[in-house]
Structure 1
Amino acid sequence: MEFTDEKLKEFNGSDASKPIYVAVKGRVFDVSAGKSFYGPGGAYCMFAGKDASRALGKMSKNEEDVCGSLDGLSEKEMEVLNDWEKKFEAKYTVVGRIV
């Protein structure tokens, strides 16, 4: 399934009838199993319905970092992001990609 940034926003946990999706490096994961983390009020709810790549790499919860841009990330931040990607792959199903 292909997602635009706008379409992905529909899966931010605000509609209980829809799954919760988070994108990492352009791949969209169904994180509904982690609803307590990614759903409304969860510790990582700011990532729901968005590509969280930059924020994960920078270990940031700042809204301006919650995007798919990897521009300017250091080698260390890319390593952190790659570790996050592996965790997502192990725990959640890929349901699509950002176009």
Structure 2
Amino acid sequence: MSGKFEPKTPVQLNPPKSDPISPEFLKQCNGVDGNLCYVAIKGQVFDVTGNKAYQPGGSYNVFAGHDASRALALTSTKAEDVRPDWSDLGEKEVGVLNDWYTFFSKRYNIVGVVEGAANL
């Protein structure tokens, strides 16, 4: 099962960065007007700029510019679920969140960590 999350086409990733990214800056990275497009999971910020699904009008744009940990754990695209807190979720949801983290980490560069993130 180790290849379960491997991308179909190999991806050359940069070493993960731990640069602090403010929540305000993250919010601006929503893909609007050609801006960067970032999604955070468990406080780690992924650059998803090249994926149209996260750009305005894309099916996952609701995640852009946010820490979407809770929504991913719940497999939800509801705006009210897009938030960093997942501490109250059950084992099953935490497993789903960890799977999403693995999925993202094999496809997108980690460009930093959300400043003050308590959900690492």
Report the RMSD for the aligned CA atoms in angstroms. Answer: 0.9
Moved over 2 A (4+): none
Please, which of 24, 45, 48 is the counterpart of residue 6 of structure 1? 24
Deviation at 1:5, TM superposition (A): 1.7
Output the CA distance in 2 between the equivalents of 1:13 and 1:32: 7
* Structure with more helix by fraction: 1
Question: 1:57-72 counterparts in 2 under 5 A?
Answer: 57-72=73-88
1:15 aligns with 2:33: yes
The one-character-per-residue Cα deviations of 1:9-60 (angstroms, maximum 9, x if unpaired) are 11001130x32100000000000121x1000000000000000000000011
- Aligned twin of 1:31: 48
Per the normalisation by structure 1, the TM-score is 0.93
Displacement of 1:62: 1.4
Contiguous gaps of at least 5 residues in structure 2: 1-18, 116-120
Q: What CA distance in whole angstroms lies between the structure 2 residues aligned with 1:75 and 1:4? A: 29
Gaps of 5+ in 1: none
Identity %: 47
- TM-score w.r.t. length of structure 2: 0.78
Q: Larger C-alpha radius of gyration, 1 or 2?
A: 2
Give the letter aligned to residue 102 of structure 2: K
Aligned-pair CA distance for 1:4: 2.1
